[in-house]
Structure 1
Amino acid sequence: MPFKVQVGPPQIAIHQAMTVLVTESDGQINWPGDKGLYFFDTRLISAWSVYANGTKWDLLNGGAVNFDAARVFLTNQPFLTEDGPIPSQTLAFEISRVLDQGLHEDLDITNYGQKPVRFNLEIAIRSDFADVFDVKAKRDIRRGHINSDWTETRQTLRTTYRNADFSRSVAVSVGKSDSRAVLANGRLSFEVKVPPGGRWHCCLMYEFADGDKRYHAPKDCAADSGLSSQAKAHRDWRETVLKLRTSNEEFYRFYHQAIDDMAALRLPIEGTDHMVFLPAAGLPWFMAPFGRDSLIVSLQNILVYPEFARGSLEVLGGWQARQRDDFRDAEPGKIMHELRYGELAHFKLIPHTPYYGTADATPLYLVTLHAAWRATGDISLLQRFLPNAQAALDWIDEYGDRDGDLFQEYQTRSPVGYENMAWKDAGDSMVYADGSPVRGPKALCELQGYVYDAWVRMAEVFDALKQLDRARALRQKAAALFTKFNQAFWDEDAGFYAYMLDGEKQRVMTVASNPGHLLWSGIVPPDRAARVVGRLMQPDMNSGWGIRTLSSKHPAFNPYSYQNGSVWPHDNSLIALGFKRYGFSAEAGHIARDISEAASYFLLNQLPELYAGVQRDGANFPVQYLGANVPQAWAAGSCFALLQAMLGIQPDAPANTLYVDPDLPPWLPDVTLTDLRLGKKHLDIRFCRDGDKTRWEVLRGDAKLVKYRGAVQAREALGVA
């Protein structure tokens, strides 16, 4: 591929759990700016720069070598010393960093000159302890007090921030070093002496503290980081997840980068097995627990790593709202949107403690519970999370349906709440056909689909738990919603569903991608599915790099906007699953091809959160959206959902059966899956095109477990309409 698209300005971003380090390409942190070392939503280091006798270094190359490690190669500009001049490019300076609890930083200087050198290496470090929300808003507000202490004997510089009972600190200690440090003029200074061909080395250890809890830096240098517990956990992850081989190099790279991205975005859950995680949303701003994001990512990963679903159910169930709190848009039974840990959240100056401004996370919690059970066969999951599920069902009835008309509506009650509470949460994303903003409680189409799907799935759950009356009641409600929704939202002339009903219960006939989610949820009658699919595949919606969020014919269309014309990979992956659910395999494969080809243009085959909805014309490439998160969890997860759509895999572990309905497109002639889990069983399966059919062969495991069932038949078996 002759051209690779880079997302965002050049920078280096590494992270581990809820610690994120974002620097310039030369490894430094320039202030003012938004880069820095962030720890639980607080910027511990806001400036970091290094000098040789006061002279800056020149960048050669720098980048992340893993999600938790980076390496930068610098060389010297000419500078003077008392022993004489040092010519340019005679010193090599390598900065290596590894995050694991704390940060380990290696500084290595090699003298390629023919004379010994002696100079001062100075490192300037500043800590502003800014809240991540203040940084994003470009607010420079100091609410507390900062103190720094240098301990000569321990070679440690500790900087502490306190505001009442909120405290953060960072301690920078000199580890193994060829010379001692002094603190002068606010800088750590080392006298560096290097003979010709010699090398000077120093380790800096960054320890973080959240109140009384300390996070120690790894002791091993970056060269030995492969021996760390973090490296072992990554190897365990790679051994555990679903593995893929294919002759299509493009999709192979897409898949394996997605696996690495998901490894990077795991948040460990305290008190659980070391392989149970909650998926974070994305780097650099969203390394935090989320509701909607974590649930959709768990569904995308259900074949690849079902433990994500277990982690999401655990964490989000633990934070499920117990009482009404209008400032946080909380209501009993509601699943949260976002949880933050910084100073603003600590003092409740923002509602993210957690904030509950999402209308879709609660039904998606129920969908995820069912999917996790079907993938694992673990009925104890249903028993464990049944109280959460019942509270979520009650919320749907009592609060999600604000006016008792069977439809889900949302509107914030908080003075700082979100205007929009679905996945399209931008303030300008909900527009009438003339481009003006929709006001009042909004009944988005996909919310009705999610609730329908949740009721249908939970009916099956109650069947399994022998609560047949509750199952019957949910199926009756789902049938009533199916009928009423298709009467109220369908427009026969347009052959499409309304985007939403506004506050006056009038249809908003804006053409957007949201009705594609209705196919995924199964709320569309079969005789209407072809018209929905056909409308989404029209050129004004299908950019050639994926389906746009908004029609290019709409007055509000802007391909460079956040959600009014851009392309979101996760949106496309759910639409592709919906296409497959109604038997439109070719169209699902078409979307998969567009997204996979788009991924091939991005650096590392790494899909960003979104990209511009510019029309593909055969001579261009996908265009970045400025500010997109990368890596981003549901962008990476889109690869897995697209694969599931093409193979038609339907796990039914409770019935000890893996149903498949494969239809590989010509561009992807073969796929071999290794360690595909069905409950506690493992299968290796090869899928291969044979003419216009796709055959499969079980290479390992019990072949009798794998059976054909058409995706349409599967939808009919689950649905009530």
Structure 2
Amino acid sequence: MSNETPATDQAEAAPERAVQHAFVLKEADTYIVMDGHGDVGSGVDGLFHHDTRMLSAFVLRLNGSRPSLLSSGVSRDNVYFTANLTNRPLPVLGSTSTPQGVIHLERKRFLWDARMFERLRLVNYSDQPARAPLGLRFAADFRDMFEVRGQVRPQRGEFGTPELAARGIVLRYRGLDAVLRSACIDFSEPPQRLDADGAAFEVTLAARGAWALYIEVGTEPAAAGAERFREAGVLARWRMRARQRRGSRLLASGRLFQSWLERSRADLALLTTDMATGPYPYAGIPWFSTPFGRDAIVTAFQTLWIDPMLALGVLKFLAARQAHQTSSFRDAEPGKIMHETRKGEMAAVDELPFGQYYGGVDTTPLFVALAGAYMQRTGDGAAIEGIWPALVAACEWMERNMARHPGGLLAYQRGERSGLANQGWKDSHDSIFHADGRSPEGPIALVEVQGYAAAALLAMAQLAELRGDDRAAHWRQRSAEVAEAVERQFWLPEQQFYALAVDGENRPCAVRSSNPGHLLFTGVPKPEHATAVTQQLLSPAFESGWGIRTLPLEAARFNPMSYHNGSVWPHDVALCAAGMAHYGERDGVVRILDNLFEAAAYFGMRLPELFCGFERQPGHSPVAYPVACLPQAWAAGSVFMLLQACLGLRVDGIRREVEIVHPRLPTDIDHLRLLDLQVGDGRVNLHFQRIEKERVVVVARSRPGGPAVNVKLRV
């Protein structure tokens, strides 16, 4: 997901340390990117709030040098970062030096209520007293996220004069948007030296003695101390755990696979922000820690079967931000659903259109399709009634758009050069092309977007029938027409595959790609065409051994190190697998899940936004893409969509039933329990047990005292 910056721009702005080697914390609209020492000081590092870097440097030194790193990590619930450090030789009172490794320095940090809380704790394990001079260098450049990513601005705002106090300092910047932004750094103890560049503490440790310092960084001054640290930490952990406990629970027999499930659930909780409209998953850290439309909808689809509340939060948030006016600068038209929103200075002064931007052709049909899937999953007619005007407006926009394309297709063409050139999920500048490598002229109709449109219109027809709306027949007919247009205009008989896109002159971009895998997910292709696409996506041309590449080896722009032209995106892989499962494929889906699971193991059970599409080699790990977001919401959600595809499970909340068709379990997983699955007003536990290599039995138990859930099993 390059969104507003092409992959080439990201490479030029590459940080000194690859993103996958960073540590991150997030809470609401605040997040921090740091190294293993807990230092902020290179590349994309920083403490960010509302798309602005509040701290660009925060570097700790012990006696003027960097402490030795023993270990560091983020807690399993993604709340606390802890670094364990020790001294190099230090001067001892009345002696020459302290032996290395006798002073333990712990940095413990978390975020809460738009603030960073940190505790520095030193313990002297020597039988001699020691001096431990601590120095903290800090800086606040107040750069917009787009500047951090490499955007050059002709003009910036003005920095204010630092304001010093006995136990803190305030750094300020007034942007071109006239907003005064402040970074307030406060200490529980008065430093011996404090100025605009840093603070120094002359710490004397008794033999076997200890010392602690509490630090807070926020937009307002505070009285940092132990009590505030403890209270805020309890609240941060409680809120994070509440997010993780929402929905059903999954328990697998394999410990490593269970670790992947838990890590993915924890990452989704980390990225989810509690809005007034409900929970909303931000796209990813560091580049996209903000609401995106497409990413959130796909994440909601991935987790809909186990946590429908996330989908409801996404639907309500996006409905409230639907476009009502036309703006070529923001690629907005009445009825369109938001692609992205930003809160930084550059967006506020319209240097870029992303304050509230609508340049995504697929977000609007996906929004409608998600509403239909949510209704089927939950039977929550009241929620659908609440967003019904937004759904109608979205369909009206789709039909107006299709009327403008010569082939009657849903297409995009940016309004101004400041917008995205390509407006599907592969939105980097070079991701859509003809077979000979030429870039197509717009408006461009992507193959998967037609599937989304057909699914959206069919969903609207079904929703309209439930509420007695006489427009149901029209939407059902329009859905059938779009599905027919896909077969007529995109199918390539000689390749037995669908074209990537159709250009503004109604010519197909005869390129094989992973995009038709999404088309399978919508159920649009004819069965024989679906079989042909599935076989090719599972072939070595696409399947790298770690996952399905976005392009096959023969494509004119194939590059396994590119952003969209040959890399592996976990969410893309999951959608392809879900599409295959829709048409009955199981062996290939299990193999895809196994491969991505093995890739996750190399990435510490946290799948990145994408990784390189090199062919798997024995004894080698997957190759990381250096500036991929980590964590990324739809990468974290991929395991749940893949698992649902293997299980062949579908929940119908309207009929209060669960259908399970030809269930399979991942290799080496002998049993899986799905606990507290809500189905309408009933709840059920499901136990999947392998009894033969490819045979799985299911035991279902409805919650005692509640309404029975009907479980249909087809093996």
Deviations for 1:229-253, whole angstroms, at most 9, x for unmatched residues? 2211222233323211222334322
Change (3 A) 1:285 1:185: closer
Deviations for 1:437-484, whole angstroms, at most 9, x for unmatched residues? 2332211100100000111111110011111x2111111111122222
Contact residue 459 and residue 471 of structure 1 kept, 8 A: yes
2:200 paired residue number: 189
Residue type of the partner of 1:98?
Answer: F
1:255 paired residue number: 261
The partner residue of 2:61 within 51, 57, 63 is 51
Residue type of the partner of 1:453?
Answer: A
1:174 is the counterpart of 2:187: yes
2:246 paired residue number: 240
2:8 paired residue number: none
Change (3 A) 1:389 1:194: same
The partner residue of 2:48 within 31, 38, 41 is 38
Deviations for 1:314-336, whole angstroms, at most 9, x for unmatched residues? 11111111100001111111111
**1:119, distance to aligned residue in structure 2 (A):** 5.0
**1:261, distance to aligned residue in structure 2 (A):** 1.0
In structure 2, the residue corresponding to 1:453 is in which secondary structure?
helix
2:673 paired residue number: 672
Identity %: 33
Contact residue 335 and residue 365 of structure 1 kept, 8 A: yes
The partner residue of 1:450 within 452, 467, 482 is 452
Aligned partners of 2:63, 2:600: CA distance in 1, in Å?
44
Contact residue 95 and residue 105 of structure 1 kept, 8 A: yes
Aligned partners of 1:72, 1:445: CA distance in 2, in Å?
48
Deviations for 1:237-293, whole angstroms, at most 9, x for unmatched residues? 3332321122233432221111111111101103x5xxx310111111111000100
Aligned partners of 1:185, 1:257: CA distance in 2, in Å?
39
Aligned partners of 2:463, 2:265: CA distance in 1, in Å?
30
Aligned partners of 1:665, 1:75: CA distance in 2, in Å?
46
Aligned partners of 1:347, 1:172: CA distance in 2, in Å?
28
Q: Where do residues 140-159 of structure 1 align in structure 2 (5 Å cutoff)? A: 143-153=156-166, 155-159=167-171
Contact residue 117 and residue 215 of structure 2 kept, 8 A: yes
1:287 paired residue number: 289
The partner residue of 2:270 within 264, 271, 282 is 264
1:557 is the counterpart of 2:570: no
Deviations for 1:485-531, whole angstroms, at most 9, x for unmatched residues? 21111122211111111222111111111111111111101232211
Q: TM-score, normalised by structure 1?
A: 0.91
Deviations for 1:36-56, whole angstroms, at most 9, x for unmatched residues? 111110000111122344344
Q: Where do residues 341-420 of structure 1 align in structure 2 (5 Å cutoff)? A: 341-399=343-401, 401-403=403-405, 405-420=407-422
In structure 2, the residue corresponding to 1:505 is in which secondary structure?
coil
Equivalent pairs counted in the alignment come to: 691
Residue type of the partner of 1:267?
Answer: T
Change (3 A) 1:196 1:250: closer
1:546 is the counterpart of 2:557: no
1:199 is the counterpart of 2:210: yes
Q: Flag structure 2 segments of 5+ consecutive residues without an equivalent.
A: 1-16
1:11 is the counterpart of 2:22: yes
**1:398, distance to aligned residue in structure 2 (A):** 1.2
Change (3 A) 1:441 1:219: farther
Q: Flag structure 1 segments of 5+ consecutive residues without an equivalent.
A: 1-5, 712-721
Q: Where do residues 624-643 of structure 1 align in structure 2 (5 Å cutoff)? A: 624-643=624-643
**1:669, distance to aligned residue in structure 2 (A):** 3.3
2:610 paired residue number: 610
Change (3 A) 1:248 1:79: closer
Contact residue 280 and residue 290 of structure 1 kept, 8 A: yes
In structure 2, the residue corresponding to 1:328 is in which secondary structure?
coil
Aligned partners of 1:486, 1:709: CA distance in 2, in Å?
32
In structure 2, the residue corresponding to 1:228 is in which secondary structure?
helix
**1:96, distance to aligned residue in structure 2 (A):** 1.1
Moved more, 19-28 or 341-350: 19-28
Aligned partners of 2:61, 2:97: CA distance in 1, in Å?
14
1:717 paired residue number: none
In structure 2, the residue corresponding to 1:482 is in which secondary structure?
helix
2:4 paired residue number: none
The partner residue of 1:309 within 288, 308, 311 is 311
Moved more, 196-205 or 397-406: 397-406
Deviations for 1:622-647, whole angstroms, at most 9, x for unmatched residues? 22112111111111111111111112
Aligned partners of 1:145, 1:38: CA distance in 2, in Å?
19
Change (3 A) 1:230 1:662: farther
Residue type of the partner of 1:548?
Answer: R
2:7 paired residue number: none
Q: TM-score, normalised by structure 2?
A: 0.92
Aligned partners of 1:520, 1:599: CA distance in 2, in Å?
23
1:105 is the counterpart of 2:118: yes
1:684 paired residue number: 685
In structure 2, the residue corresponding to 1:326 is in which secondary structure?
coil
Q: Where do residues 527-538 of structure 1 align in structure 2 (5 Å cutoff)? A: 527-538=528-539
1:708 paired residue number: 712
Q: Where do residues 547-626 of structure 1 align in structure 2 (5 Å cutoff)? A: 547-603=548-604, 605-626=605-626
Deviations for 1:357-409, whole angstroms, at most 9, x for unmatched residues? 10000000001111111222110111100011011001101135533632111
2:6 paired residue number: none
2:13 paired residue number: none
Deviations for 1:36-88, whole angstroms, at most 9, x for unmatched residues? 11111000011112234434433332222252321112222334478543323
Residue type of the partner of 2:84?
Answer: F
Residue type of the partner of 1:509?
Answer: A
Residue type of the partner of 2:78?
Answer: F
Contact residue 444 and residue 502 of structure 2 kept, 8 A: yes
Aligned partners of 1:53, 1:609: CA distance in 2, in Å?
39
Residue type of the partner of 1:262?
Answer: L
1:60 is the counterpart of 2:70: yes
In structure 1, the residue corresponding to 2:687 is in which secondary structure?
strand
**1:611, distance to aligned residue in structure 2 (A):** 1.3
Aligned partners of 1:633, 1:520: CA distance in 2, in Å?
19
Change (3 A) 1:526 1:152: closer
Aligned partners of 1:377, 1:215: CA distance in 2, in Å?
47
In structure 2, the residue corresponding to 1:15 is in which secondary structure?
strand
**1:137, distance to aligned residue in structure 2 (A):** 0.8
Aligned partners of 1:288, 1:379: CA distance in 2, in Å?
29
In structure 2, the residue corresponding to 1:369 is in which secondary structure?
helix
Aligned partners of 2:509, 2:122: CA distance in 1, in Å?
64
Deviations for 1:649-698, whole angstroms, at most 9, x for unmatched residues? 22211122222214214714322101111134221111123334332111
In structure 1, the residue corresponding to 2:512 is in which secondary structure?
coil
Aligned-residue RMSD, C-alpha: 2.4
Residue type of the partner of 1:525?
Answer: K
Aligned partners of 1:218, 1:547: CA distance in 2, in Å?
51
Deviations for 1:73-130, whole angstroms, at most 9, x for unmatched residues? 2222334478543323332221111111111111111223333223542212111100
Aligned partners of 1:666, 1:499: CA distance in 2, in Å?
31
Q: Where do residues 509-520 of structure 1 align in structure 2 (5 Å cutoff)? A: 509-520=510-521
Deviations for 1:409-454, whole angstroms, at most 9, x for unmatched residues? 1110122111110011111111221223233221110010000011
Aligned partners of 2:225, 2:161: CA distance in 1, in Å?
23
1:479 paired residue number: 480
Contact residue 206 and residue 217 of structure 1 kept, 8 A: no
Change (3 A) 1:594 1:205: same
Change (3 A) 1:364 1:185: closer
Contact residue 686 and residue 697 of structure 1 kept, 8 A: yes
1:126 paired residue number: 139
Contact residue 607 and residue 635 of structure 1 kept, 8 A: yes
Residue type of the partner of 1:159?
Answer: L
Aligned partners of 2:639, 2:85: CA distance in 1, in Å?
37
Aligned partners of 1:302, 1:104: CA distance in 2, in Å?
34
Change (3 A) 1:706 1:573: farther
Aligned partners of 1:435, 1:422: CA distance in 2, in Å?
18
